[in-house]
Amino acid sequence: MHSNLIPLTMARPGQRVRVTRVEGGHGLRGRLCAMGLVPGTPVEVVCFGGGPVVLNVLGGRVMIGRGMADKVMVREA
């Protein structure tokens, strides 16, 4: 049973999720791919600080702006 699709900004800090789809333009998607955020990748939300979201992607820490995080759809892993 699949859990619901939510934007990354709705995930809780500490939550482990799986990237499902990236909405938004070509530049955004390519940028995220290069940083390891490909659909299917498990990521952990590290912190929120109110501004950008910090993620644990394949062991490294990547921060992405709020506007961008809104376009990354994830599923609870």
Partner 1 sequence: MANIVRTDEPARQAATTTRQLTVALAGNPNAGKTTIFNALTGGRQHVGNYPGVTVEKKEGSCRVGQTHLRIVDLPGTYSLTAYSAEELVARNFLIHDRPDVVIDVLDASNLERNLYLAVQIMELGAPLVLALNMSDVAEQRGIRFDLGLLSDLLGVPIMPTIGHKGLGKADLLAKAVEVAERQDRPAPRRIDYGPEMEAEIGKLQQRIDQAGQTPDGAGSRWLALKLLEGDENVRERIADTSIVAAAEQAAERLDSLLGDTPEALIADRRYGFIAGACQEAVRSTVESRRSTSDRIDMVVTSRVLGLPIFLALMYGVFHLTFTLGDPAMGWIEAGFGWLSGAVGGLWPEGSESLLRSLLVDGVIGGVGGVLVFLPNIVLLFLAIALLEDTGYMARAAFLMDRLMHKIGLHGKSFVPMLIGFGCSVPAIMATRTLESSRDRLTTMMVIPLMSCGARLPIYALIIPAFFPRAWHAPMLWIIYLIGIILAVLLAKLLKSTILRGEAPPFVMELPPYRAPTLRSVGLHMWNRCGAYLKKAGTVILAISIVLWAMQQWPDLPQDREAAFAAQRGLVLARTQLPPEAKDELIAEIDQAEAQAALEASLMGRIGRGIEPILRPCGFDWKISTAMIGAFAAKEVFVAQMGIVYSLGEEQDEESEPLRARLQAAYTPLQGFCIMLFCLISAPCMATIAITRRESNSWKWAMFQLAGLTVLAWVITATVYQVGRLLS
Chain positions contacting partner 1, by CB under 8 A? 21-22, 24, 26-36, 38-41, 44, 46-52, 54, 56-68
Nearest distance in Å: CB 2, partner 1: 15
Residues 6+ apart with CB under 8 A from 37: 19, 22, 43, 55, 57, 62, 64, 72
Return d(Cα 5, Cα 1) in angstroms, integer.
Answer: 12
Nearest distance in Å: CB 14, partner 1: 10
Nearest distance in Å: CB 38, partner 1: 5
